[in-house]
Amino acid sequence: MVKKVRVGLFGYGAINRLVARVVLERGWEIVGVVDKDPRILGEDAGKLAGLEPLGIKVSNKPEVLKNAEVVLHATGSYLDKVFDQLETLIKMGKDVLSTCETLAYPYYRYPELARKLDELAASRGVTVLGAGINPGFLLDALVIVLSAPFNIIKGVRAVRSLDAGKRRLPFRIKVGIGLDPEVYVDKLKKGELTGHVGYAESVYLVAQSMGVKLSKVEEAQEPVVAKSNVTVAGQTVPAGKVIGIKGYGKGYVNDKEVISIEFHAYVGAREFEEISIIGKDYNVTWRSTGTPGDLGTASVIVNLAEAVAAYRPGLITMADIVPFRPRLLT
């Protein structure tokens, strides 16, 4: 018999509204919804997600999540900005699954905050996990799984490509569609826009699973500029304007590149994921027809929700729960 999980939602933007749909399709129960946006406070969570009314009003008080078995958290990309939210949920004794990209491997950017979360979660007997479609699955956990039939690995390369013109408005904004290239680069530097977050986190997740201590990690992203006019959501983006991004993360051992991940998100890009495993004895390349990002993220989170209580208390990563431990030797 499938267990009916009692779920709380912290943050009720586009992703958690989609999560709500997935949760209800599972036959699970949503017990509370929290958000700070004054425009939606007091509104019915079901109606906001395009569903039948649920009789659950959006609240800015975390206490409405007291009956949840697990809280699905989706509010921000950077751990230092959402740490207090996670701390509150942990102190309430809740297991937490979060789409916060830098929580996927928080020891890189926020080692002290990661230590505090781990100690607090362990002391309360709950589990905290950062996951999603990317980082959290396509360019890291899936890489680890596809490495399972290898004895010794010499290197890995993973690429995700998607047509940014088909994505929702907030995604199109964060990859700079319609901006001057110089303006977009300046906004990235100032943190006013993020582009993709999680290149280094994916690299470290792969390295963690493969027993590799990296000597250096590099990450960068740059705008892709339209060579001719393109149409996005009924609007014309002139030639010379930004139509998305290309970025990468690379992991090195003694100046030798051993892990490479790339993310392409621009208007008209082909949609696929491609993962190449270079082994001592043979090489294998896997390629998909592309994975929808938003529904993919919601599905990853919900697919983990039922099992999270079985994981060890504390702060964990996807590399901790994927059972394979391939070995990358340089």
3-state SS class at 173: helix
Check residue 3 and give its pLDDT: 75
Q: Which domains occur in the chain, in start order?
A: 6-132+297-321 (3.40.50.720), 141-291 (3.30.360)
Would you tell me the crossing angle of helices 14-25 and 293-305 to the nearest 10 degrees?
A: 50
114 backbone dihedrals φ, ψ, rounded to 5° = -65, -45
Q: Record the pTM.
A: 0.95
d(CA 250, CA 202): 10
* Rounded-to-integer distance, Cα 64 and Cα 67, Å: 8
CA distance 89 to 83: 10
Strands 216-225, 242-253: pairing kind: antiparallel
pLDDT recorded at residue 96: 98
pLDDT of residue 2: 63
DSSP string, 110-167: -HHHHHHHHHHHHHHT-EEEE--STTTTTTTHHHHHHTTT-SEEEEEEEEEEEEGGGS
pLDDT value for 22 = 97
Quote the pLDDT of residue 7.
Answer: 98
Instruction: Identify the residue whose tokens are 């340089």.
Output: 330
Q: Residue 11: what are its φ and ψ, rounded to 5°?
A: 95, 130
Instruction: Report, as ranges of residue numbers, the positions in the chain whose pLDDT lies below 70.
Output: 1-2
Cα distance between residue 117 and residue 314, in whole Å: 7
Return the residue matching tokens 């609007």: 235
Terminal CA-CA length for the chain:
47
Q: Which two tokens stand for residue 129?
A: 């996990």
Write the pLDDT tens digit of every residue in 246-303. 999 999 999 999 999 999 999 999 999 999 999 999 999 999 999 998 999 999 999 9
CB 68 within 8 A of CB 94: yes
**Nearest by Cα to 57 from 14, 12, 98, 100:** 12
